[in-house]
């Protein structure tokens, strides 16, 4: 239990650090959302000053930070200037879509990477392994921006997939089955871009760690005992190789979040990415901070989940944790 | 194949690629911001040696494009007015390698303009823009990597060499930066810096922002090296002779981190080129009219461009060879430093 407590404490510290960091950066900013109003002769100087005071932009940074922390403690993330509404609900709608996209992509990427990596490791150095290594290397040199654009071009040219958004017009009136199909066709491109961008790294790591375990003498003994090949690979080798892979899982959450930010903008998926970009361009301070913080929360929960998995998978960690 | 030869071949390939981009002014026929409003979105032109009457010409030539009858965006070759290419001709001014004023171009034409890779919305030559855009993107990547490695080396050496509370503090901060999704971090940093600035300022801003994002990984690696090196005999001996901290850091610890830093550089540069591209693509980086690979791709956000003008995709392909080169270099460097490590282990005295 102490193990989880420590990890959670670590996570909270991390979140705290990020919020402090973003606030510090915001102190560096020249100008704010209301600056452009000053150029408008119809808005008096007093109105702008009053607005600034209303949103407490005239207060010193530590005061603003303390206020914001208090708000967060009450479950609010500040107020959006541009949307004139609380940030929380605004972000939540978008964050749901982002989560939906990234979790689908992550599941798919790992479901593909595990068998591919194990298969490649079991034929280490032979033709299938080399073909696969070549394929992953090729994917690795194509940057994700180019990948996303390429898929978008494919969609536009062939018309096989919708080119943006989450659902077609009139989505509400579709039957459940058609709803599912519509959603899947909208999801296909962004998920494909994310999966293709993360897959090569995952496959390479799975391959490397399984190949290392396959050398171990306990596996040779298992071969000698006549344990069937698939069981050997997935029941024993993968289990023994799981440790670094679980850490990689925690790490891959971060890359996927970054990737999805870009993919969402390119493919106009209504997630956090486009919202954040708009907020930056409009200097909508609390939306940016809230968005970054929310992504951090996802990341931290991903890492916590990885820690739990590690605890469950590795008896050494269990013993070490309970010994303390 | 032995690792050193592989390393040199990757290096040669990279130097050649960078040479092409560095010589953009010479290789590109036109100034990248020179507009030709009468010819927006011209498709790439073909260079011929054989004319319409099947006569062979020793000097390559091309046919200018003109609108097809009754069409407003379909072009066809005007076979009546062949324009021949001229090599090593004088054209628009440009600073060669950034400072030598020069007017010579590899090729050009008298009269009608040639668009080997088509033209963009303002009739600017896409080939020239890709070449000059490469200068901006690569320079941003290289400078950004320089900033990052400087920060990483400084922080890593401080943490590893002094230890104690400095180490704790710096490594906590490094964990923070490592954990953040880099694009969110980039966004957060960029969000709080001025939006409307001159192209040069924007470029420097991008370099600084990119440079500040990635210091954590090199810092951790450098710290590890510094931790082990400071206990080595030659460092202890030097300290015994009264060498100061700054001397030890400069002369004994920094050189030992060189291989780590080099490998990190090979990994970071393409990542940072991509970061610049991403920022510029999203409109947060290098602004028009300056060209960069990122803002060249930005026009693909318009549906009409995406559907109709395939030659606008070309900038996306330009970076792939660079990525390949840097990836190869990084893995070759990693192999080499791995080989070195084995060497070092065997030569270490078992004290």
Q: Which of B181, B195, B220 to mutate to test the interface with A (most CBs of A within 10 A)?
A: B181
Question: Is the CB of residue A276 less than 8 Å away from at least one CB of chain B?
Answer: yes
Binned at pLDDT 50, 70 and 90, residue A170 comes out as: low
pLDDT score recorded for residue B146 = 92
Binned at pLDDT 50, 70 and 90, residue B342 comes out as: very low
Answer whether B7's CB lies under 8 Å from B333's CB.
Answer: yes
Answer whether A202's CB lies under 8 Å from A252's CB.
Answer: yes
Answer whether B63's CB lies under 8 Å from B78's CB.
Answer: yes
Contacts of A227 (CB under 8 A, 6+ apart): A236
Measured between CA atoms, the residue of chain B closest to residue A297 is: B180
Token couple for A260? 């999805």
Strands A79-80 and B65-67: unpaired
Token couple for B289? 């009219």
Distances (CA, A) of A52 to A22, A33, A249: 20, 9, 44
How far B114 CA sits from the closest chain A CA (Å)?
27
Mean pLDDT of chain B: 80
What is the Cα–Cα distance from B267 to B116, expressed in whole angstroms? Answer: 33
The residue with greater pLDDT, A87 or B131, is B131
What is the Cα–Cα distance from A247 to A306, expressed in whole angstroms? Answer: 6
For the stretch A266-293, pLDDT in tens is 888 888 888 888 887 777 778 888 888 8
Answer whether A260's CB lies under 8 Å from A95's CB.
Answer: no
Coil vs helix vs strand at B86? strand
Closest of B147, B161, B99, B124 to residue B29, by C-alpha: B124
Question: Is the CB of residue B196 less than 8 Å away from at least one CB of chain A?
Answer: no
Closest of A105, A103, A118 to residue A239, by C-alpha: A118
Distances (CA, A) of B21 to A141, A154, A285, B108, B317: 19, 29, 39, 18, 14
Residue contact B274–A291, C-beta within 8 A: no
Sign of the Cα pseudo-torsion (A130, A134, A140, A145, in order)? negative
Binned at pLDDT 50, 70 and 90, residue B346 comes out as: very low
How far does Cα B256 stand from its chain's mean position?
27
Contacts of B194 (CB under 8 A, 6+ apart): A29, A30, A31, B201, B205
Answer whether B31's CB lies under 8 Å from B94's CB.
Answer: yes
In chain B, what residues touch A280 (CB-CB under 8 Å)?
Answer: 187, 190-191, 284
Q: Which of B184, B205, B277 to mutate to test the interface with A (most CBs of A within 10 A)?
A: B184
pTM confidence score: 0.82
Question: Is the CB of residue A255 less than 8 Å away from at least one CB of chain B?
Answer: yes
Terminal Cα-to-Cα distance of chain B (whole angstroms):
36
How far B38 CA sits from the closest chain A CA (Å)?
27
For the stretch B71-114, pLDDT in tens is 777 777 777 777 777 888 887 777 777 677 777 888 877 777 78
In chain A, what residues touch B274 (CB-CB under 8 Å)?
Answer: 143-145
Closest of A12, A29, A137 to residue B325, by C-alpha: A137
pLDDT score recorded for residue B3 = 54
Domains and CATH numbers, chain A: 2-87 (no CATH), 93-323 (1.10.3720.10)
Residue contact A153–B306, C-beta within 8 A: yes
* Chain A residues 155-184 with a CB less than 8 Å from chain B: 156-157, 163
| H-state helical runs in B30-125 | none
pLDDT score recorded for residue B150 = 92
Question: Is the CB of residue B292 less than 8 Å away from at least one CB of chain A?
Answer: no
How far does Cα B178 stand from its chain's mean position?
23
For the stretch A180-204, pLDDT in tens is 787 788 888 888 888 988 888 888 8
Residue contact A29–B323, C-beta within 8 A: no
Return the number of other C-beta atoms located less than 10 Å from residue A182's C-beta. Answer: 17
* Chain A residues 116-145 with a CB less than 8 Å from chain B: 137, 140-145
Query: The tokens 């206020």 sit on which residue?
Result: A67
Rounded (to 5) percent helix, strand, coil in chain A: 80, 0, 20
DSSP A250-310: HHHHHHHHHHHHHHHHHTT-SSHHHHHHHHHHHT-HHHHHHHHHHHHHHHHHHHHHHHHHH
């Amino acid at each position: 239990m102490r193990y989880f407590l420590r990890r959670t404490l670590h996570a909270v510290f991390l979140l705290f650090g990020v919020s402090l960091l973003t606030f510090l950066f915001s102190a560096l900013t020249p100008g704010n959302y209301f600056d452009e109003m000053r150029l408008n002769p119809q808005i008096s100087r007093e109105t702008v000053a009053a607005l600034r005071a209303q949103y407490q932009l005239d207060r010193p940074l530590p005061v603003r930070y303390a206020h914001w922390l208090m708000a967060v403690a009450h479950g609010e993330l500040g107020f959006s200037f541009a949307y004139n509404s609380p940030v929380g609900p605004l972000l939540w709608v978008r964050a749901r879509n982002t989560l939906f996209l990234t979790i689908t992509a992550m599941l798919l990427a790992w479901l593909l990477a595990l068998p591919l990596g194990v298969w490649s490791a079991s034929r280490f150095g032979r033709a299938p392994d080399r073909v696969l290594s070549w394929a992953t290397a090729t994917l690795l040199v194509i940057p994700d921006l180019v990948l996303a654009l390429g898929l978008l071009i494919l969609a536009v040219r062939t018309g096989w997939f919708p080119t943006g958004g989450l659902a077609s017009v009139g989505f509400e009136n579709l039957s459940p089955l058609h709803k599912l199909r519509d959603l899947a066709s909208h999801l296909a491109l962004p998920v494909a871009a994310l999966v293709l961008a993360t897959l090569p790294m995952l496959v390479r790591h799975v391959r490397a760690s399984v190949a290392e375990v396959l050398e171990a003498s306990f596996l040779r003994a298992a071969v000698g005992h006549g344990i069937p090949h698939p069981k050997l690979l997935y029941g024993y080798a993968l289990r023994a190789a799981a440790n670094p892979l679980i850490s990689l899982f925690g790490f891959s959450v971060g890359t996927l979040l970054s990737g999805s930010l870009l993919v969402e903008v390119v493919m106009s998926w209504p997630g956090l990415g486009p919202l954040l970009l708009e907020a930056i361009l409009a200097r909508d301070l609390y939306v940016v901070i809230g968005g970054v913080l929310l992504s951090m929360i996802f990341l931290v929960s991903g890492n916590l989940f990885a820690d739990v998995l590690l605890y469950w998978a590795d008896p050494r960690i269990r013993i070490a944790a309970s010994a303390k | 194949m032995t690792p050193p030869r592989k390393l040199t071949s990757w290096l040669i390939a990279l130097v050649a690629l960078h040479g092409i981009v560095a010589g953009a002014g010479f290789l590109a026929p036109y100034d990248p911001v020179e507009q030709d409003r009468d010819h927006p979105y011209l498709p790439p032109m073909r260079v011929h040696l054989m004319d319409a009457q099947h006569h062979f010409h020793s000097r390559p030539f091309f046919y200018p494009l003109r609108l097809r009858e009754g069409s407003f965006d379909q072009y066809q070759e005007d076979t009546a007015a062949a324009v021949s290419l001229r090599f090593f001709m004088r054209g628009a001014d440009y600073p060669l390698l950034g400072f030598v004023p020069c007017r010579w171009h590899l090729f050009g034409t008298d009269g009608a303009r040639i668009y080997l890779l088509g033209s963009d919305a303002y009739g600017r030559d896409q080939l020239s823009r890709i070449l000059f855009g490469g200068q901006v993107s690569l320079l941003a990547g290289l400078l950004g990597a320089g900033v990052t490695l400087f920060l990483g080396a400084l922080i890593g050496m401080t943490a590893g060499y002094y230890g104690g509370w400095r180490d704790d503090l710096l490594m906590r901060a490094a964990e923070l930066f490592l954990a953040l999704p880099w694009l969110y971090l980039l966004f957060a940093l960029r969000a709080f810096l001025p939006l409307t600035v001159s192209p040069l300022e924007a470029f420097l801003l991008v370099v600084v922002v990119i440079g500040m994002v990635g210091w954590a990984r090199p810092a951790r690696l450098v710290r590890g090296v510094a931790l082990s090196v400071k206990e080595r005999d030659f460092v202890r001996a030097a300290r015994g002779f009264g060498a100061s901290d700054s001397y030890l850091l400069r002369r004994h610890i920094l050189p030992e981190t060189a291989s780590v830093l080099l490998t990190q550089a090979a990994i970071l540069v393409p990542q940072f080129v991509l970061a610049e591209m991403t920022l510029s693509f999203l409109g947060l980086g290098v602004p028009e009219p300056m060209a960069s690979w990122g803002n060249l791709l930005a026009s693909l956000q318009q549906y009409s461009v995406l559907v109709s003008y395939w030659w606008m995709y070309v900038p996306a392909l330009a970076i792939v060879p660079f990525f390949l080169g840097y990836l190869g270099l990084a893995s070759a460097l990693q192999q080499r430093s791995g080989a070195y490590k084995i060497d070092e282990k065997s030569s270490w005295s078992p004290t």
